[in-house]
Structures are given as C-alpha cells and as structure tokens.
Amino acid sequence: MTMDLLYIRDAIFRRDNDGIFMSARGAQGLVVSIVFTALATCFVAMRMYTRMGLMKRVEANDWMVIIALVNSYIFMALDIIEAVSGMGVHFKDIPPNIFLRQMKAFWLTIPFYNAAVLCAKASILMQYFRVFPTHRMRVVCWVMITILAIYGTWAVISAFLNCIPVAKFWDDSIQGYCLDKTKLWFSNASMHISTDIAILVIPIPALIAIDLPRKQKLALMIMFALGGFVCITSIIRLLSLKQIADSTDPTYDNVAAASWSAIECNTGIICACLPTLKPLVARIFPSMVSTFNASRPTRGDTTQRNSDWNDNASTLGPPGEEHEYGAGDPERVLALAPGTGFRSSLKRWTREEEKKLSQITSVPGPRPNRVAHPRPLPGDLAVPF
C-alpha cells in the first residue's frame, strides 16, 4: 500500500504537444498556490468594496495591498509554469528543455514573492499610523518602513541579479559569477521573519495601555493569532529552503518551498485586509457587531494607563455614518458602522462628562485653564491582526 502511494505521488503527467510535464507532487503545490491566492483575492475584494463602496475613500495602504496582490498573481502564474515544467519530478527524469523552462520560472518567482510580502507588511505599518496616532508609534513605524524599504530593495534586486549574467542561474556552464544562493535565501528569509515578529510586537505596548471588554479581547486575540501564523509560515518556509539547500535533487524537493512561499505572501495580504472589514461585517451582521460593542469597560477602566504611547492620541470627534477600523475621528481612529449602538453610547458618555465638567466649573475658586477633550473609548478601538 505504501509503495502504491509513493508511486501515485511520483506519477508524471506528460503531454508532448503542449510541453506539459507535471507530477502529482507538483499538482499539490499548484493547488496550494491557487487556493491561497484566491482567498487573498476575496479579502482584497471585500476590503476595496468597504473602502470604495461604504467608506468612499481609498488610501495609500489600500493601493499597497493591491500591489501586493498583483505580485502574488505573478508569483502564482510562475508557480503554474514551474508545476507544468517538472516541479516535484526527479531531476534525472526531466528533459533538458523542460528543466530549462522550470529554472527560468523559478528565477522569476523569487523577486515577485519578495515584493508581495514586503508590500503587505508596508500596508500593515501604514494602517498603524491611523490606528495608533501617537508620536512614538509614528516614529517606530517610520523606522520599520525605512528598514523594509532598504532590505526590500536589496531582496528584489539581488533576486533578479543573483547571477551575472543572469542566464548563469539556470545554465551553470555559462562563464560568470553568482552570489551564494543559500546565504542569500537564508539572509532574506531571516529578515522576513524578524520584520514579521516586529510588526506583531509593535502595537502591544499601546494595547496594554487600554482595557477592552472580554469579547473584544477575544476577537483581538484571534486577529493576533492570525498575525502569528504569518510568522510561523515564514519559519516553516525557511526550513523548506534549508531542505532545498541540502538536497541533491532540488527539482523534486522544491514543492514545499514553493507552497509555503505562496502561503506566506497570501496570508500576509489577508492579515493586512482584516482590520478594514469591520464596516462590512457590521453591514452584513449588525447584531454580531452590536454584541461585541455592547459591553463597555467601567469608567475607571477607560483610563489609558501608558502615557508614553497615548500622549498625542487624537481626541474624540463626532462620529460619521460609517467609519473604518474602530471608533471616533474618522480621519485618525477607526470606527464602527451604523447599527452598532456606538452613537447612543457616545452621547450618554459625553453627557456624563459634561455634567462632571459643569460641577467642576461651578465650584468657587480658580477655574482650570485648559480642559482636555475626552479620548476615544478603548472599547471601540479595533487593532490590526
């Protein structure tokens, strides 16, 4: 039985009239790439409907996600070429012309994979500017974007110019020079993992500074777990790259690396889209969002404790009909869609604050020179991942 399964996995489907030379292993990797690219497409479509149809506003982080998806589509197309050109087939069984076509496609997948991953990360960091509008968070995000720009440029250019001339990448008989592929892949993969972890950790101090109802904390934990899944896929991809580096039959062992590369870049796109979908979810499932926002922290719990991360937070402005990620000023903090009970909660909370203010100003003695505007309710904030 085991030998039969191995035979099926190593079976080769060949059509000489159109040059198709595909194995069952290659088909499995191809299915993974198509499925995750389709999922990413659905989430980007929902995001753009939310931003263009409901919010009537498209921003730079939205275009960055679209660029990431375009690169993911190019990666998938090249992955298809690899799959029908002997990916997952033993090197000794691949005709020379088919092997040449596979290696050319493989050479092109690397820069487009890097571009897709980097654009998705940049989109998430650009959303942090709006979700956490504090001075320190802006500095941290700008530093991270600068790091992404520097190492991302290197990752893309070095992938295109791995060998000089580039044809030496797929034809070792050509005279020229190549960078050490193993060191290059490992260094770029390590940077991807490091930035994944950094993007996951960056908002934690700001989150510690606020108190959320239990249901919203649960939703927050789920989104963070999805962000952690991107880190896990990056690590697994690094291990699959090591498998290729140590392999004596890379065309056969390349399926895992190709599959995890597709999973990583597309889950990054999905995670970048999740924080923007709250208005759409509220439009489709208003009762569910109302339930999540019905429970508020106590008045003592609404104090934001960490002044380092909240010293320049935006003040609470009048809510619009539909806002994006959380609550409050539509230009700074992401807010709820209609039907969630936010407007009545805001009015009730504002009346209480005005009553307290009138009591303070009616007391004899010096009046305060400045009255701080109320800050957004922590329970209304929505955080990426």
**Residue-by-residue pLDDT tens, the chain, 385 positions:** 444 444 455 566 666 556 688 888 889 999 999 999 999 999 999 999 999 988 888 889 999 999 999 999 999 999 999 999 999 998 888 888 899 999 999 999 999 999 999 999 999 999 888 877 788 888 999 999 999 999 999 999 999 999 999 999 988 889 999 998 888 888 999 999 999 999 988 888 777 766 667 677 667 667 766 778 888 888 999 888 888 888 888 889 899 999 999 999 999 999 999 888 888 888 887 776 666 555 554 444 444 444 444 444 433 333 333 445 544 333 333 333 333 333 444 445 555 556 666 665 555 555 555 444 444 444 344 444 3
Question: The tokens of 171 are what?
Answer: 């034809």
Identify the DSSP state of 316: P
Residue 226 lies in a domain: yes
Identify the DSSP state of 336: P
Using the 3D structure, point to which of 283, 318, 350 is the last residue of a domain. 283
Helix (H) or strand (E) holding 178: strand 177-178
Strand pairing of 177-178 and 20-23? unpaired
One-letter amino acid identity for 366? P
Are residues 14 and 136 located together in one domain of the fold?
A: yes
Residue 385 lies in a domain: no
Q: Say what the pLDDT of residue 1 is.
A: 44
Q: Say what the pLDDT of residue 373 is.
A: 47
Q: Residue with structure tokens 């909370």?
A: 349
Are residues 299 and 213 located together in one domain of the fold?
A: no
Q: Say what the pLDDT of residue 309 is.
A: 43
Distance CA 253, CA 299 (A): 58
Residue 2 lies in a domain: no
The pTM (predicted TM-score) of the whole model is 0.74
Please report, for residues 6, 9, 11, 296, 330, the alpha-carbon distance to residue 3 in angstroms, rounded to integers and kept in the order given. Answer: 5, 10, 12, 60, 61
Are residues 242 and 308 located together in one domain of the fold?
A: no
Residue 210 lies in a domain: yes
Are residues 71 and 193 located together in one domain of the fold?
A: yes
Are residues 223 and 297 located together in one domain of the fold?
A: no
Question: The tokens of 60 are what?
Answer: 């730079």
Are residues 142 and 225 located together in one domain of the fold?
A: yes
Strand pairing of 163-164 and 177-178? antiparallel
The residue segments making up the domain with residue 18 are 7-283
Are residues 32 and 132 located together in one domain of the fold?
A: yes
Residue 23 lies in a domain: yes
DSSP-assigned beta bridge partners for residue 104: none
DSSP-assigned beta bridge partners for residue 23: 12
Distance CA 99, CA 291 (A): 57
Question: The tokens of 213 are what?
Answer: 């109802």
Are residues 333 and 276 located together in one domain of the fold?
A: no
Distance CA 93, CA 80 (A): 19
Q: Say what the pLDDT of residue 354 is.
A: 61
Are residues 166 and 252 located together in one domain of the fold?
A: yes
Q: Say what the pLDDT of residue 177 is.
A: 92
Distance CA 110, CA 158 (A): 10
Q: Write out the E strands in 64-173.
A: 163-164
Task: Specify the CATH number for the domain of residue 197.
Answer: 1.20.1070
**CB-side exposure of 209: number of CA atoms within 13 Å?**
20
Please report, for residues 120, 297, 320, 323, the alpha-carbon distance to residue 216 in angstroms, rounded to integers and kept in the order given. Answer: 25, 11, 22, 18
Using the 3D structure, point to which of 283, 299, 321 is the last residue of a domain. 283
Using the 3D structure, point to which of 228, 248, 283 is the last residue of a domain. 283
Are 272 and 65 contacting, i.e. CB atoms less than 8 angstroms apart? Answer: yes
Question: The tokens of 31 are what?
Answer: 């299915």
Residue 1 lies in a domain: no
Are residues 191 and 319 located together in one domain of the fold?
A: no
- Domain count of the fold of the chain: 2
261-288 burial code (b ≥16 CB/10 A, e <16): bbbbbbbbbbbbbbbbbbbbbbbeeeee
Distance CA 250, CA 89 (A): 9
Question: The tokens of 385 are what?
Answer: 């991942």
Are residues 140 and 260 located together in one domain of the fold?
A: yes
Please report, for residues 84, 192, 319, the alpha-carbon distance to residue 24 in angstroms, rounded to integers and kept in the order given. Answer: 10, 30, 55
Phi, psi angle pair for 250, to nearest 5° = -65, -30
Residue 157 lies in a domain: yes
Q: Say what the pLDDT of residue 248 is.
A: 85
Nearest one of 306, 299, 303, 349 to 134, comparing CA atoms: 306
Are residues 218 and 356 located together in one domain of the fold?
A: no
Residue 375 lies in a domain: yes
